[in-house]
């Protein structure tokens, strides 16, 4: 098993145990009828992380490529797509794929709202 596959597998186990269910929504889908559910990690930023445009109330969402593929979400996650966390619709400011040996091992989202 490659190092990237090991990292994805480790993230998948952690998300299954400690993650929460969220919904992903394309920016053009206003009503939520096309939402795709998946498990992810959601955490707020700490006060010392509030820099570079990050505001109080913003959050980081960590998504596994496995969960993203299982959800059937169409296309890559992009700015202004939406995340629904605990019933609250939030806007994706940045979607940052983290790569290891040219393979995406997780996607880090900066969300606001």
pLDDT band of 45, cuts 50, 70, 90? confident
Tell me: pLDDT of 48 over 90: no
Domains of the chain by range and CATH? 3-112 (2.40.10)
pLDDT of residue 58: 87
SS3 92: strand
φ/ψ of 33, rounded to 5, equals: -70, -20
pLDDT digits (tens, 9 = 90+) for 80-93: 999 999 999 999 99
Q: Within 10 A of 98 (CB to CB), how many other CB atoms are there?
A: 14
**Mean pLDDT, residues 29-50:** 86
Classify residue 48 as exposed, middle or buried by CB count within 10 Å of its CB (0-12, 13-18, 19+): exposed
Long-range contacts of 50-57 (CB under 8 A, 24+ apart): 53/93, 54/110, 55/112, 57/112, 57/113
pLDDT of residue 75: 83
pTM of the model: 0.90
pLDDT digits (tens, 9 = 90+) for 52-70: 778 888 899 999 999 999 9
Contacts of 17 by beta carbon, 8 Å cutoff, 6+ apart:
none
Tell me: pLDDT of 25 over 90: yes
CB 60 within 8 A of CB 42: yes
């Amino acid at each position: 098993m490659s190092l990237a596959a090991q990292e994805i597998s480790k993230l998948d186990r952690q998300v299954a145990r400690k993650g929460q269910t969220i919904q992903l929504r394309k920016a053009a889908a206003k009503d939520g009828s096309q939402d795709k559910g998946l498990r992810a990690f959601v955490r707020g930023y700490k006060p010392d992380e509030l820099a570079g445009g990050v505001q109080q109330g913003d959050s980081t969402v960590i998504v596994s490529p496995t969960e993203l593929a299982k959800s059937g979400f169409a296309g890559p996650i992009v700015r202004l797509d939406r995340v629904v966390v605990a019933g609250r619709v939030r806007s994706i400011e940045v979607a940052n794929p983290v790569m290891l040996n040219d393979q995406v091992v997780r996607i880090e989202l900066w969300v606001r709202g």
